[in-house]
Structure 1
Amino acid sequence: MRKWKSSLILATTALVLAACGGNATNDSSASTGTTGGGQVINYTAPTELSTLDTTLMTDINSSNYISHIIEGLLKIDAEGKAVPAIAAEAGTISEDGLTYTYKLREDVKWSNGEPVTAKDFVFAWQRLVDPKSGASYAYLAETIKNAKEIMAGEKAPSELGVTAVSDYEIKIELSQPTPYFESLLAFTAFYPQNEAFVTEQGDKYGTSSEAILANGPFTIENWDGTGLTWDLVKNKDYYAADEVVIDEIKVQVIKETSTAVNLFQSGAVDNAQVTGEMVKQFKDDPNVVVQKKARTAYIEFNHDNPYLQNKKLRTALAMVINRDELVNNVIGDGSTAIGGFLPADFVSDPTTGEDFAAEAGSSLGYDVETAKTLWAEAKAELGVDKIKFSLVGDDDEKNKKISQYIQGQIQNNLEGITVELRNVPKKNRLELANQDEFDLLQTGWGADFADAINYMDLLYSTSAYNEGQYKNAAFDALIDLSKTTDANNPEARWADLMAAHKLIMEDSAVIPLYQEAETQLRNPKLKGILFHSVGNEFDLSRAYFEK
């Protein structure tokens, strides 16, 4: 949800709008109803919310909706740039790149009527790095002064290099230059929190619509923490409320494609995600929009499993998956096969301008015969003839199909390997991942900011997102080098990250599957939705219905 400012080119961000007319019958009669004189969007989501706590948030769907109810110092605009939100103006950055100072707007309120002040940011960021919080995204704050020591338990959270100079001015001190730091400030994990309210709520904070405060364009209602529906209601106290046309967004989780399409065609909802054969059915429909994402879907190995510590076995598993067949015949939603860990059209070489994915090239191609040979060698090394693995993934229709395809490719081509499928709701999948209760994990990563480090950090040995416990000292050393000695040398830093990528691909650390895209049917009268390929995926706050 952020971008590199100095050496990298941000993935394209665009307004994606559906054309008028179409084969699907959607007269938007339900969608353009009014409550309180405004317009109502009926929107579908692919998965449930896991939390509204910006500190504990880990999944993109929760982040997407949190960003509609809470704003940070900065936000990402239509061109993918970090621009002022609660910050009243552009920040002041010291010549050495170590100190950032921002003045805040004085007209921003929490939904309980209290003002949003610099202290709300200081509290939220101290909570983010406090090891007691267990925040997976804490590592993003590691270049703030004393953050590493706090996360290691060596210093108190109060020593974080963030100071409320006054109620409406904040100073941030870094331990080293961080070219993408302003992009981080637009990310959900760096949003403010009201200390009194968080303290009052305790463990309940962010677990329901009653246990969260809003300062953004909408408030949230009717979410009980586990339900599949919730409502975003226009926040009349939002500082830019006059820019918000929509009165209410009624969201419901629809996991079955046919159900979503039927609701869309009847006019009951304003969007419907389509996959597989239905994409082909609607490919010429002018109501269809395709959104390309800077997101890699991949299989993560549990490297604590003694069998999966065998590189030949990992490589064999990777080589029996036909990515072209997967994206064209199984998924069919515009997603594309991928040959490395990073998506295409994401970041570019600061010297040549060549795309990272193109420069890195493809590896781990589809090669069943070689895979069988590697499996035979692995069996001899491991002293086994049969192995059973669990494959954990989400329980929506798309991910179930992907799980079944992967299961079939492995079992049909590598005799003796059995794959047991465990498709569960996303919230449960995240819990299983955090608890290392998987052998193979069907997961993915959408870029939060446009820099290769956003992906490389996932496999760093101590990363909270390294659920598979991958450990490679040479890889860690390259990442450390990119963050320290070479941090201000774009060419050397690029070489570090390119070498790190080559190393994990040669080591079969994970199995990259595809670069994600999403195909939706969308009400042609619904205009003004802002889409980002990097960061939060969509912004409905300035949307409106064309009359």
Structure 2
Amino acid sequence: MRRKVALILSIMVLGVLAACGKTTTKVDSSLNVAVTDQLGTLDSTKYSDTFSVEAIQNVYEGLYTYNQKNKPVLAAAKSVSTNDAKTVYTYKLRDEKWSNGTAVTANDFVYAWQKLANPKTASPNSQRIDILKNGYDIRNGKMAVNELGVKAIDKTTLEVTLAQPISYLPEVLTGAPFVPQNEAYVKKQGDKYGTDSKHMIVNGPYKLTDWTGTNNKWSYVKNTDYWNAKSVKLTQVDVQVVKDGATAGKLYQTGKIDFSMLANDYVKQYKNEKGFATRKTPLIGYLGFNTKREATGNKHIRKALAIGFNKSSLASKILNDGSSELNGIVPANFVSNPVNGKDYRQEAGDLLAFNKKEAKAEWEKGLKEIGKKGLTIEILGSDTPEAKQVIEYLQAQLESNLPGLTINARNIPIKSRLAATTAYQFDVVYGTWTPDYADPINFISDGGAYHLSTDYKNAQYLKDLDQAKNDFATNPTKRWASLIDAEKQIVGEDAYMVPVFQGAMAYLLNPDIAGIHINPYGTTLFYRDMTIK
């Protein structure tokens, strides 16, 4: 009898301990995060905002990912070999599954990359495919998509052929546009693919749940089928959209959220808060133009808008978060000349710096060319506090410095803003953009600019880019000179891409959270490496 009682008591104690352990595990492995805007899409060929990038890179995984030291390492691929010319890479894939149980195959990469290159997709990131053989011609409608330099040798062997050797291929392939997509599943979902959590399957550390496509809350739940699931410590990350900085700060102070980016106007208020931190980033604020419209199609009007506002004052008095003035589309302290070690921005010099007198002259020249005495121009932006503040500042500065100009602001949710810019429903668009790898060409051939590959046809710019990608691919001195020349043309001469500021990030992080991992080229968080002390 005593043995039976002892056994029963032991079972009861173990049950209590197990229950306690289960509760502790749940609490200790969950994270609450605030972000400032909704997701745009989970289709890796359609995104154009940082919130979607963060989601894509937490639920999908490409051939490479970043380790905790921000170095690219193999991920979906378990090995890689290359030919002597460094133009053909052969990847052996891991044995991994999609979240619906089907195998991840080499064809999933072929399909996704061909979709990215296909002009019918109209991907805002299609220029990223130019690194592959025939990529440029395919996205410009000159060749068939099946001629892209990627093919499945068998189910687990992927062959990638480059247009020319590049030293930063692993960094490029960590990017969101290069994650795989399951062809059968995507085609079955049609236009609904990636528009909510019910119409997507993933192969990364987390699954996305409770996202309807328009709501302000969603969750990342640990993907137990992920090939390296044992390394993922957080079982769940609950995300909510909190656009108001004061609300986010209060939620943090009351322990209801563990992490939040901090809006610029709240830096002073929270800089002494436990868990406050800042860091410089290569994020840029930029202006893009609809060149199909008469006014913004005029380069003198664009240049007047580009140099007609005080960037230094914007960074120090309005943003006030460590952001800085930027005179060029490539940010400072981002990448150095591989030959002499000089910072690119320093070597390339200032482009489109604030100059009130010159701005007025350009403005008058532009008005004369289009036969107008004044203009009303709309600046489109997202409805985040930061975007509203920047546009309000631009409105005040430009209307004051350019006689006869009226600026109207239109701030709408990020998803609507992306749709409007894609559909040419804008005059000027303000946005932010972060690079995907450390090379000036990422900014000069992309930089967040809309319709760049279809609408900007300057012959010198295209020649410079082509030489940087091909003729001078292995000649760093000449390649660097070509990139500088290309930037001077598209930014300095034509003001097609206009820098507004170089960003910084301020955030609040629960001190009990360890292993925060921020993408080296932006503000994207990788939740898989985070733990709770």
Q: Which amino acid aligns with 1:479?
A: L
Task: State the Cα deviation string for residues 261-311 of structure 1 (Å, max 9, x = none).
Answer: 111111111123223332112223342111322121111222233233444
- Partner Cα distance (1:252, 1:338) in 2: 32
Aligned to 2:339: 351
Q: What pairs with 1:23-422 in structure 2 (closer than 5 Å)? A: 36=26, 39-89=29-79, 91-106=80-95, 108-422=96-410
Shift of 1:370: 3.6
Aligned to 2:477: 491
Q: SS of the counterpart of 1:449?
A: coil
Change in CA separation of 1:275 and 1:152 when aligned onto 2, cut-off 3 Å? closer
Q: SS of the counterpart of 2:248?
A: helix
Q: Which has the higher contact order (CA 8 A, sep 6+)?
A: 1
* Contact map agreement 1:235 1:241 (CA 8 A) in 2: yes
Aligned to 1:528: 515
Shift of 1:60: 1.9
Change in CA separation of 1:151 and 1:267 when aligned onto 2, cut-off 3 Å? same
- Partner Cα distance (1:92, 1:441) in 2: 43
Q: Which amino acid aligns with 2:84?
A: E
* Contact map agreement 2:329 2:447 (CA 8 A) in 1: no
Q: SS of the counterpart of 1:136?
A: coil
Aligned to 1:14: none
Q: Which amino acid aligns with 1:354?
A: K
- Partner Cα distance (2:225, 2:268) in 1: 45
Q: SS of the counterpart of 1:232?
A: strand
Aligned to 1:501: 487
Change in CA separation of 1:120 and 1:380 when aligned onto 2, cut-off 3 Å? closer
Deviates more, 1:141-150 or 1:68-77: 141-150
Q: SS of the counterpart of 2:425?
A: coil
* Contact map agreement 1:434 1:467 (CA 8 A) in 2: no
Task: State the Cα deviation string for residues 93-131 of structure 1 (Å, max 9, x = none).
Answer: 11111210111112x111112222222222222222233
Q: Which amino acid aligns with 1:50?
A: G
Q: Which amino acid aligns with 2:509?
A: R
Shift of 1:172: 1.5
- Partner Cα distance (1:299, 1:65) in 2: 25
- Partner Cα distance (1:54, 1:497) in 2: 27
Shift of 1:37: 6.9
Aligned to 2:455: 469
Aligned to 1:452: 440
Q: Which amino acid aligns with 1:317?
A: L
Aligned to 1:512: 499
Q: SS of the counterpart of 2:472?
A: coil
Q: Which amino acid aligns with 1:335?
A: S
How many residue pairs are counted as aligned between the two chains? 511
| Greater helix content | 2
- Partner Cα distance (1:345, 1:283) in 2: 24
Q: Which amino acid aligns with 1:367?
A: N
- Partner Cα distance (1:349, 1:454) in 2: 15
Aligned to 2:8: none
Q: SS of the counterpart of 1:246?
A: coil
Task: State the Cα deviation string for residues 3-49 of structure 1 (Å, max 9, x = none).
Answer: xxxxxxxxxxxxxxxxxxxxxxxxxxxxx986757521000112111
Shift of 1:212: 0.9
Deviates more, 1:222-231 or 1:357-366: 357-366
Q: What pairs with 1:424-463 in structure 2 (closer than 5 Å)? A: 424-458=412-446
1:539 aligns with 2:526: yes
- Partner Cα distance (2:352, 2:108) in 1: 47
Q: Point out where structure 1 has 5 or more consecutive residues left out of the alignment.
A: 1-31
Task: State the Cα deviation string for residues 25-78 of structure 1 (Å, max 9, x = none).
Answer: xxxxxxx98675752100011211111111222222101111111111111223
Change in CA separation of 1:36 and 1:315 when aligned onto 2, cut-off 3 Å? closer
- Partner Cα distance (1:196, 1:277) in 2: 47
- Partner Cα distance (1:324, 1:165) in 2: 54
Structure with higher Rg: it is: 2
Q: Which amino acid aligns with 1:137?
A: N
Q: Which amino acid aligns with 1:102?
A: Y
Change in CA separation of 1:527 and 1:103 when aligned onto 2, cut-off 3 Å? same
- Partner Cα distance (1:251, 1:233) in 2: 11
Change in CA separation of 1:33 and 1:353 when aligned onto 2, cut-off 3 Å? farther
Shift of 1:381: 4.2
Q: Which amino acid aligns with 1:348?
A: S
Deviates more, 1:467-476 or 1:439-448: 467-476
Q: Which amino acid aligns with 2:257?
A: V
* Contact map agreement 1:144 1:160 (CA 8 A) in 2: yes
- Partner Cα distance (2:24, 2:199) in 1: 27
Task: State the Cα deviation string for residues 152-202 of structure 1 (Å, max 9, x = none).
Answer: 445443343323223222211234323332322211111112222112212
Q: Which amino acid aligns with 1:218?
A: Y
Q: Point out where structure 2 has 5 or more consecutive residues left out of the alignment.
A: 1-21
Shift of 1:377: 4.2
Shift of 1:423: 0.5
Shift of 1:317: 2.2
Aligned to 1:20: none
Identity %: 35
Q: SS of the counterpart of 2:202?
A: coil
Q: SS of the counterpart of 1:521?
A: strand
